[in-house]
């Protein structure tokens, strides 16, 4: 289940930072019970959904198909103008198979919108310093075999940008759902971070992106990428 407010923020980004008009064909991957699918449907989008457990889906007007454990999608090539994957990738041990499938079902120039816990915010950096664990990625239970119930893949913005590029996508926009109050108390560190990364940031887009103020303060990353 997505954190409160994530759907609102993701919907705003979908409408504001992409070329996805209403009535566009959108696939909601990892749709859960269908809250975001319902929102898309009410806004006029043509919605399809899929999930590892489609029997939990609760939106009768939308068909929810099963996703295989290997990430294969039951859709024909180039049949979607946009794909959304909210709070999904942190549950996957390996993103390449699913990204390959998303690339396949998207039309050229189509949009992928994904969200993920932001391990780069100031709270997460302090938490890792003190405990060895990142924000929203607590210790893993080796007895749990179902990754749905654990966050197993902490990806930084730099790693997402690289993985998306390797899979045929270009990262277009980086947003966050909201600023995290527990990061605000560490905001005095931002000038120091900017100073320490000044030289490397001049050479590297990824370094600049990873240390943008909204990334240092945000709770959830919202990424928009375009299919090549």
Give me the tens of pLDDT residue by residue for the chain, a chain 228 residues long: 677 889 999 999 998 866 666 668 999 999 999 999 999 999 989 999 999 999 999 999 999 999 987 889 999 999 999 999 999 999 998 899 999 999 999 999 999 999 999 999 999 999 999 999 999 999 999 998 877 889 999 999 999 999 999 999 999 999 999 999 999 999 999 999 999 999 999 999 999 999 999 999 999 999 999 999
Where do the structural domains in the chain lie, given as residue ranges?
6-118+138-180+219-227
At residue 99, the pLDDT reads 97
Distance CA 82, CA 84 (A): 7
Q: What is the pLDDT of residue 19?
A: 60
**Residue 7, beta-bridge partner list:** none
What is the secondary structure of the chain as a DSSP string? -PPTTHHHHHHHHHHHSS---TT-EEEEET-TTSHHHHHHHHTT-EEEEEESSGGG---TTS-EEE--TT---SS-TT-EEEEEE-S-GGG-S-SHHHHHHHHHHEEEEEEEEEEEE-TTSHHHHHHHHHHS-BTTB----TT---GGGS------HHHHHHHHHHTTEEEEEEEES-B-HHHHTTGGGHHHHHHHTHHHHHH-HHHHHHT-HHHHHBSEEEEEEEE-
In the numeric block, the tokens 């893993």 are attached to 140
pLDDT of residue 210: 97
Q: So what's the pLDDT on residue 22?
A: 66
Q: According to the model, what pLDDT value does residue 147 have? A: 72
In this predicted structure, what is the pLDDT of residue 98?
A: 95
> So what's the pLDDT on residue 82?
94
Let me know: does 43 contact 22? Beta carbons within 8 Å: yes
Topology (CATH) of 6-118+138-180+219-227: Rossmann fold (3.40.50)
CB 153 within 8 A of CB 90: yes
The pLDDT of residue 122: 98
Rounded to two decimals, the pTM is: 0.94
């Amino acid at each position: 289940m997505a954190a409160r407010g994530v759907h609102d923020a993701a919907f705003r980004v979908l409408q504001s930072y992409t070329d996805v008009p209403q009535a566009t064909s959108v696939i909601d991957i990892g749709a859960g019970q269908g809250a975001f699918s319902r929102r898309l449907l009410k806004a006029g989008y043509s919605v399809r959904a899929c999930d590892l457990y489609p029997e939990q889906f609760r939106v009768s007007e939308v068909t929810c198909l099963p996703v295989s454990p290997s990430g294969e999608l039951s859709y024909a090539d180039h049949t979607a103008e946009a794909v959304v994957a909210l709070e999904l990738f942190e549950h996957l041990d390996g993103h390449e198979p699913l990204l390959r499938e998303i690339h396949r079902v998207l039309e050229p120039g189509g949009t992928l919108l994904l969200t993920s816990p932001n391990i780069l915010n100031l709270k997460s950096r302090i938490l890792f310093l003190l405990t060895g664990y990142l924000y929203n990625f607590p210790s893993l239970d080796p007895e749990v075999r179902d990754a749905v119930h654990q966050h197993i893949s902490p990806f930084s913005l730099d790693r997402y940008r690289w993985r998306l590029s390797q899979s045929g996508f270009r990262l277009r926009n980086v947003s966050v759902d909201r600023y995290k109050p527990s990061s605000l108390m560490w905001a005095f560190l931002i000038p120091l971070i900017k100073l320490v990364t000044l030289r490397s940031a001049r050479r590297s887009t990824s370094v600049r992106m990873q240390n943008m103020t909204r990334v240092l303060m945000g709770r959830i990353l919202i990424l928009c990428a375009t299919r090549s």
